Chain A
Amino acid sequence: MRKHTALYEPILLGIRSKSDLDQLQNTIGEILTSLFTIKKTKLDTILDKSLHKPLARAVKDAIKKEKITLTDHDKIKEFFQKLQEAVSRLPLVRLTFAFSPSPKILETTSDWAKNTFGHDAILDIEIDEKILGGAIVVYEGIYKDFSLKNRIQKVFNDHRKEIQPSFS
Chain B
Amino acid sequence: MKDFAAQIKKIGEIGYVEQVLHSIVYVNGLPGAMPNELVVFETGERGQILSLTRDYAEIMVFSSRSLQVGIKASRTNTFLNIPVGEELLGQVINPFGEALDHLKPITTKTSRPVDVVPGGIVVRKRINKPLETGVSLVDLIIPLGKGQRELVIGDRKTGKTEFLLQAMLTQAKQGTICIYSAIGKKKLDIKRVEEFFDRNKIKDKTIIIASDSEEPASIIYINPYSAMTIAEYFRDQGKDVLIVLDDLLTHAKFYREISLLARRFPGRNSYPGDIFYTQAKLLERAGNFTYQKGESSITCLPVVETTQGDLGGYIQTNLMSMTDGHIYFDSDIFTQGRRPAINPFLSVTRVGRQTQSTLRREINRELVSFLTLYERMQRFVHFGAELSEIVKNTLSTGELIHSFFDQTADSSVDPRLQIFLFCVLWIGTWQGKTTPTMKGEIDIFIKAYEEKKKVREDINELISKAESFNKLLNDVRKQVQSFFDAVDLKMADAQEQPLQSPQPQANPNTQLPGKTNIPPEAQEETNKKEG
Seen from chain A, the residues whose Cβ lies within 8 Å of a Cβ on chain B are 138, 140-145, 150
Q: Does B312 make an interface contact (CB < 8 A)?
A: no
Residues of the A chain whose Cβ atoms lie less than 8 Å from the Cβ of B14: 138, 141-143
- Distance in angstroms from B14 CB to nearest chain A CB is 4
Q: Is the CB of B29 within 8 A of A141?
A: yes
Closest 10 pairs (CB-CB, A-B): A141-B29, A143-B14, A141-B31, A143-B12, A141-B30, A141-B13, A138-B14, A143-B8, A141-B15, A143-B13
Q: Is the interface of B mostly helix, strand, loop or mixed?
A: mixed
Residues of the B chain whose Cβ atoms lie less than 8 Å from the Cβ of A143: 8, 12-14, 74
Q: Does B199 make an interface contact (CB < 8 A)?
A: no
B 16-37 contacts with A by CB, 8 A: 28-31
- Distance in angstroms from A98 CB to nearest chain B CB is 17
Q: Does B9 make an interface contact (CB < 8 A)?
A: yes
A140, B28: Cα distance in complex, Å: 9
A144, B9: Cα distance in complex, Å: 8
A150, B14: Cα distance in complex, Å: 17
Residues of the B chain whose Cβ atoms lie less than 8 Å from the Cβ of A138: 14, 29
A141, B54: Cα distance in complex, Å: 12
Q: Is the CB of B12 within 8 A of A144?
A: yes
Task: Report, as a range, how many residues of chain B touch the other chain.
Answer: 10 to 19
A138, B12: Cα distance in complex, Å: 9
- Distance in angstroms from B362 CB to nearest chain A CB is 69
A142, B12: Cα distance in complex, Å: 6
- 5 chain-A/chain-B pairs, Cβ below 8 angstroms: A140-B31, A141-B14, A141-B30, A141-B31, A143-B13
**Of B12, B14, B31, which is in contact with the most chain A CB atoms at under 10 Å from its CB?**
B14
A150, B8: Cα distance in complex, Å: 12
Residues of the B chain whose Cβ atoms lie less than 8 Å from the Cβ of A144: 12
A144, B13: Cα distance in complex, Å: 8
- Distance in angstroms from B53 CB to nearest chain A CB is 14
Residues of the B chain whose Cβ atoms lie less than 8 Å from the Cβ of A141: 13-15, 28-31
- Distance in angstroms from A134 CB to nearest chain B CB is 15
**Of A141, A142, A143, A144, which is in contact with the most chain B CB atoms at under 10 Å from its CB?**
A141
Q: Is the CB of A142 within 8 A of B9?
A: no
A139, B320: Cα distance in complex, Å: 51
Q: Is the CB of B8 within 8 A of A142?
A: no
A150, B5: Cα distance in complex, Å: 11
* New A-B pairs, 4, CB < 8 Å, besides A142-B12, A143-B13, A144-B12: A140-B31, A141-B14, A142-B14, A143-B12
- Distance in angstroms from A8 CB to nearest chain B CB is 20
A140, B30: Cα distance in complex, Å: 8
Residues of the A chain whose Cβ atoms lie less than 8 Å from the Cβ of B15: 141
A138, B13: Cα distance in complex, Å: 8
Residues of the A chain whose Cβ atoms lie less than 8 Å from the Cβ of B29: 138, 140-141
A145, B12: Cα distance in complex, Å: 9
- Distance in angstroms from A121 CB to nearest chain B CB is 16
Residues of the B chain whose Cβ atoms lie less than 8 Å from the Cβ of A140: 29, 31
B 28-59 contacts with A by CB, 8 A: 28-31
A140, B55: Cα distance in complex, Å: 10
Which residue on chain A has the smallest CB distance to residue B73? A141
A87, B223: Cα distance in complex, Å: 43
Residues of the A chain whose Cβ atoms lie less than 8 Å from the Cβ of B8: 143
- Distance in angstroms from B316 CB to nearest chain A CB is 44
- Distance in angstroms from A150 CB to nearest chain B CB is 8
- Distance in angstroms from B100 CB to nearest chain A CB is 35
Residues of the A chain whose Cβ atoms lie less than 8 Å from the Cβ of B31: 140-142
**Of B9, B29, B31, which is in contact with the most chain A CB atoms at under 10 Å from its CB?**
B29
A138, B15: Cα distance in complex, Å: 9
Residues of the A chain whose Cβ atoms lie less than 8 Å from the Cβ of B13: 141-143
**Of A138, A143, A144, A150, which is in contact with the most chain B CB atoms at under 10 Å from its CB?**
A143
A150, B6: Cα distance in complex, Å: 12
Which residue on chain B has the smallest CB distance to residue A143? B14
B 418-471 contacts with A by CB, 8 A: none
B 279-333 contacts with A by CB, 8 A: none
A144, B14: Cα distance in complex, Å: 10
Which residue on chain A has the smallest CB distance to residue B55? A88
- Distance in angstroms from B463 CB to nearest chain A CB is 69
A144, B30: Cα distance in complex, Å: 13
A67, B14: Cα distance in complex, Å: 43
Residues of the B chain whose Cβ atoms lie less than 8 Å from the Cβ of A142: 12-14, 31
A141, B57: Cα distance in complex, Å: 11
B 59-109 contacts with A by CB, 8 A: 74
Residues of the A chain whose Cβ atoms lie less than 8 Å from the Cβ of B9: 145, 150
A69, B9: Cα distance in complex, Å: 53
B 210-224 contacts with A by CB, 8 A: none
**Of A138, A144, A145, which is in contact with the most chain B CB atoms at under 10 Å from its CB?**
A138
- Distance in angstroms from A89 CB to nearest chain B CB is 10
- Distance in angstroms from A85 CB to nearest chain B CB is 12
- Distance in angstroms from B274 CB to nearest chain A CB is 28
Residues of the B chain whose Cβ atoms lie less than 8 Å from the Cβ of A145: 9
A140, B54: Cα distance in complex, Å: 12
A148, B192: Cα distance in complex, Å: 56
- Distance in angstroms from A132 CB to nearest chain B CB is 15
Which residue on chain A has the smallest CB distance to residue B11? A143
A144, B12: Cα distance in complex, Å: 7
A53, B282: Cα distance in complex, Å: 61
- Distance in angstroms from B342 CB to nearest chain A CB is 56
A140, B14: Cα distance in complex, Å: 9
- Distance in angstroms from B529 CB to nearest chain A CB is 78
- Distance in angstroms from A154 CB to nearest chain B CB is 10
User: Interface readout for B219-257 with A: 1 if CB under 8 Å, 0 if not?
Assistant: 000000000000000000000000000000000000000
Which residue on chain B has the smallest CB distance to residue A150? B9
- Distance in angstroms from A137 CB to nearest chain B CB is 11
Which residue on chain B has the smallest CB distance to residue A88? B55
- Distance in angstroms from A96 CB to nearest chain B CB is 11
- Distance in angstroms from B437 CB to nearest chain A CB is 78
Residues of the A chain whose Cβ atoms lie less than 8 Å from the Cβ of B12: 142-144
Which residue on chain B has the smallest CB distance to residue A145? B9
- Distance in angstroms from A95 CB to nearest chain B CB is 13
